[in-house]
Amino acid sequence: MAKFNHRNGLSMNDRRRVVITIAILLVVLVLGSAFLVRKAYQSNLQPLSSSNAGIVVTIKPGTAPPEIAELLKNKGVIKSDWAMEWYVRNHNLRDKLKAGTYLFHPSQSVPEIVEQIAEGKVATDLVTILPGRRLEQIRNDLIRAGFSANNVDQALEAKQYANHPALADKPENASLEGYLYPESFQKTADTDARQIVKQSLDEMALHLTPEIRAAFNAQGLNVHEGVILASIVEREVANDTDRATAAQVFLKRLKIGMPLGSDVTAFYGAIIAGHDPSVGFDSPYNTRIHKGLPKGPISNVSDSSLKAVAYPAKTDWLYFVSGDDGQTYFSKTLEEHEAQTQKYCKKLCN
């Protein structure tokens, strides 16, 4: 006879059956979940789409596999970053992924993409717009890339891009100076210079996010003014980590009515006027002579400079100098600044 449990009304056999049933259900649930996860994993390894459109992606040295996967997901190359990360880990490829500029297609599967990166099969037919370049330099770079001078000059006419979202705040008669985002773009025998310029503006629009635009406004700048100041930061400071602090210096100077005192703005004004770079050349760009922002951007800008102006450091410096060692030295008084200049900037400052 089965023992009866007076407390809950179940016999010992009934309780065993309940426990066994629950255990079976848990096993089924675990196996079912594992099946669904496995199915999702396999699905996310498949191509994002059937599109053969080329997408150029630059993987910087030291980028970790999860960051690479996130980059490819954000660029529209793969379906899932976690699936790619799992694949790399499961196949022991974490230490084999190579930095470089690659050309991918959404029609590639994750295994194909990972193999391409692991083998370092970088793109070769690329046009690269470098950061910190004046529009004149970008023009020459495009001509060296194989485009005719006439084709490039037509492509750089700003009016044809009047409705482009990246240029919404650019003054009507201003050139594209400052707005061609530095990136690498695929070039074929049929590629026109205008396509490269258009893609560069598209990239600029992606980096001028609503958040960045709002952050510029919070600093008392419209978007065009934000780009102008970002171009100065781009040229003044090579170290990404120091750019937010340099932006703080410039923003403070603007706030208190002190000249920005930027050598690179003076150089730019002299160069575009056909003179040798000089801090003494008087132009609307010389912020050593004139207060406020210069007339326009002095180069194109990278993401780090845009973010530096949008989100400046919470510091209170008033001066800085870029040293011969690549470091930036900040100070609060002119005396400290002059001492640091004499100590750290013997070659560059001469």
pLDDT digits (tens, 9 = 90+) for 99-145: 988 999 999 999 999 999 999 998 878 899 999 999 999 999 999 99
Distance of alpha carbon 288 from alpha carbon 309, whole angstroms: 20
Nearest to 110 by CA among 69, 161, 51: 69
**% of the chain at pLDDT higher than 70:** 97
DSSP-based three-state secondary structure for 320:
strand
Residue 37 predicted with pLDDT over 60: yes
Mean pLDDT of 211-227: 98
Amino acid at 325: D
- Element of type H or E holding 97: none
pLDDT digits (tens, 9 = 90+) for 261-283: 999 999 999 999 999 999 999 99
Distance of alpha carbon 183 from alpha carbon 131, whole angstroms: 8
Mean pLDDT of 230-240: 94
Global pTM value: 0.75
Give DSSP secondary structure letters for 34-68. HHHHHHHHHHHTS-S-S----EEEEE-TT--HHHH
Cα–Cα distance list, 196 to 128, 193, 202, 274 (Å):
9, 5, 10, 27
Mean pLDDT of 75-101: 94
Q: What is the mean pLDDT of the chain?
A: 92
Range name among 24-33, 40-49, 171-180, 339-348 with the lowest pLDDT average: 24-33
Residue 14: per-residue pLDDT: 76
Domain ranges (residues) in the chain: 1-44, 55-118, 126-207, 210-316
Residue 2 predicted with pLDDT over 60: no
Q: b/e map of 269-280 (b: 16 or more CB within 10 Å)?
A: bbbeeeeeeebe
Residue 322 predicted with pLDDT over 50: yes
pLDDT digits (tens, 9 = 90+) for 189-205: 889 999 999 999 999 99
In CATH terms, 55-118 corresponds, of 3.60.15.10, 3.30.70.60, 3.30.1490.480, 3.30.70.120, to 3.30.1490.480
Mean pLDDT of 13-17: 77
Residue 13 predicted with pLDDT over 70: yes
Residue 1: per-residue pLDDT: 47
Distance of alpha carbon 245 from alpha carbon 212, whole angstroms: 17
